[in-house]
Amino acid sequence: MSDLRAFRPLVPGTQPEYDADVYGSTKFRAPKQQLLQVPTSLTEATGPQFSPSRYPSIIDISKVESGEAQGQRIVVEGQVTDEDGRPVPHTMIEIWQANSTGRYHHDGDQHDAPLDPHFQGAGRVFTDENGMYRYISIKPGAYPWRNHHNAWRPNHIHYSLFGPGFATRLITQMYFDGDPLLKYDPIYMCIADAGSRERLVAGFDLDLTMPEWALGYRFNIVLRGRNATPFEDSNDHGDH
């Protein structure tokens, strides 16, 4: 039986706005009309469920069959929970990133940095029953983009999560502790709340670090939590 409870509204300021002057590509893509507040029904409360049998895990992207990628090997571990601290078990996480020189294995990336034949840059892992996930990669390089003069993206790994419902879909980016580019990055900086920005930064973790092999980083992710009421009609609040 599916969980049919609605998801709680997001805390104001903790998410970026669609319209962000500092990020040029939002100019003609951000909707101008106010979003329609829609009550939760089966379509929103539930969502696609993935299993490794149909979506096989790719846990170690630091190498391909023909050899090892160039760069600093890293192991990234973390927990996916909801806002109430409950683990989100058996949920799929997709990741993708640039190689160690800051170049994506993608036709659209024309950055003048070498491609690495041993690095494809995409992985897929599932959380366990405690919401824990782990993968192995190499530290991505910073790369230039044309948003403004001398614009460089900080080191980052892209994340895609689904969670339990259509309403919990999350695309985000993981950053690295101490990166001097963070404070100049419009995509990172357009989140108003400093705490919410800082939670996108993975911490170096000596306990996760593997001797003579890989540096460890910890990155926890929080997905939206649910209300108490099933099929809540949000329009019932506050007006009678």
**156-161 and 92-96 strand pairing:** antiparallel
| Contact residue for other proteins among 166, 179, 203, 209 (CB under 8 A) | 166
To other proteins, the closest distance from the beta carbon of 77 in angstroms equals 16
Q: Between residue 93 and residue 122, which ones bind other proteins under the rule CB under 8 A?
A: 94, 96, 98, 104-106, 108-109, 120-122
Radius of gyration of the chain from its Cα atoms, rounded to whole angstroms = 19
Asked if 42 touches other proteins (CB under 8 A), the answer is yes
Rule CB under 8 A: say whether 222 interacts with other proteins: yes
Q: Which residue type, as a one-letter code, is found at position 228? A: A
Note whether 76 and 62 are within 8 A (CB).
no
Q: Is 217 in the site for other proteins (CB under 8 A)?
A: no
Sorted by sequence, the CB contacts under 8 Å of residue 74 that are 6+ apart come out as 62, 136, 137, 138, 139, 214, 215, 216, 217
38 contributes a contact to other proteins by CB under 8 A = yes
Looking at beta carbons only, is 2 or 210 nearer to other proteins?
2
Confirm or reject binding of residue 171 to other proteins (CB under 8 A): yes
Please report, as residue ranges, which positions from 50 to 79 form the binding site for other proteins (by CB under 8 A). Answer: 50, 54
Does residue 149 contact residue 100 with C-beta atoms inside 8 Å? no
